[in-house]
Amino acid sequence: MSTAKRIWAVVPARSGSKGLPNKNVRMLAGKPLIGHAIQFAQNAGVFEQVLVSTDSEDYAAIAREQGGWVPFLRGESAAQDASMEEHVLADLDAKLTEHGITPPDILVWLRPTFPFRSIDDLNTALSLMEDDVDAVRLVTEGEPRLYQIDDGYLVPRFEDGGRSMIRRQEFPATYKVFHTDIFWYRNIAWGERFLGSRIKAVPVHKICAMDVDGQEDFDMIEAIMSAAGPIVGKYCQPASASE
């Protein structure tokens, strides 16, 4: 970034998960799931605030215990099963105005269900946030050779040329985008296009693609976190000095 900007982390933590009840506050490796995102933001040392957006007083209390800032609760209309990021952002903008809180220049959207993150990756992404860039997304490499099942038969969703086996290297790299997003606060006014059209990407390690959706995901991630090794150490943040 060419000049210093005020940066907030936002940890979205709606209650009411159906696949894994209360997953955002479920204990993972000795810490509530949202606590891992909050701790990462604290350790990064670049955020003016680490705001937790939640609709639950119970979640808010847990977030505050972990060091998060919860100046208000998310409105009910932005906390439905079908609510999208743009609804949460519109609610956030309205609540900041209502409470007389000056918003930041940049938001970093830290989805708590992705607990593996690197501060180096974050800093790389933030360095790309110039005035001619709308957003930066942390991405993980995906699989370009995808199939679907039609009436029990496997059908390729790509041109396989009639071949049974195709090397992945024959295709351009593809990426999954749902991990961490960085964007200008002013983009909120664009509604569902809040990331804009000028979006840069920072590819990160495939471990960062692990997402807590159900119990099996939770169990696998907890097992990985309990293992020792340089990769796990890099993407699992140690406890902050205050703990």
Can you list the domains of the chain with their CATH numbers? Answer: 7-141+175-235 (3.90.550.10)
Q: How many CB atoms lie within 10 A of CB 178?
A: 14
Handedness of CA 227, 231, 236, 238 (dihedral sign): positive
Are 77 and 86 in contact by the 8 Å Cβ rule? The answer is: no
DSSP letter at 78 equals G
If one compares 190 and 82, the residue with the highest pLDDT of the two is 190
- What's the mean pLDDT in 29-53? 97
- Residue 113 and residue 241: Cα distance in Å, rounded? 24
Confidence of residue 239 (pLDDT cuts 50, 70, 90): low
What's the chain's average pLDDT? Answer: 93
Are 75 and 180 in contact by the 8 Å Cβ rule? The answer is: no
Residue 187, sorted as left (phi over 0), alpha (psi -120 to 50) or beta, turns out to be alpha
- What's the mean pLDDT in 179-207? 97
pLDDT tens-digit series, residues 50-85: 999 999 999 999 999 999 999 999 999 888 888 999
pTM of this structure: 0.92
Cα→Cα distances 147→121, 152, 176, Å:
31, 12, 16
- Residue 240 pLDDT > 60, yes or no? no
Per-residue b/e over 39-72, b at no fewer than 16 CB within 10 Å?
bbbbebeebebbbbbbbbeebbebbeebbbbbeb
- What's the mean pLDDT in 219-231? 89
Residue 242: the pLDDT is 43
- Residue 131 pLDDT > 80, yes or no? yes
- What's the mean pLDDT in 9-33? 92
Residue 230: the pLDDT is 85
Are 105 and 175 in contact by the 8 Å Cβ rule? The answer is: no
**Residues paired with residue 113 on neighbouring β-strands, in sequence order:** none
**Residues paired with residue 220 on neighbouring β-strands, in sequence order:** none
Confidence of residue 1 (pLDDT cuts 50, 70, 90): low
Confidence of residue 243 (pLDDT cuts 50, 70, 90): very low
- Residue 227 pLDDT > 90, yes or no? no
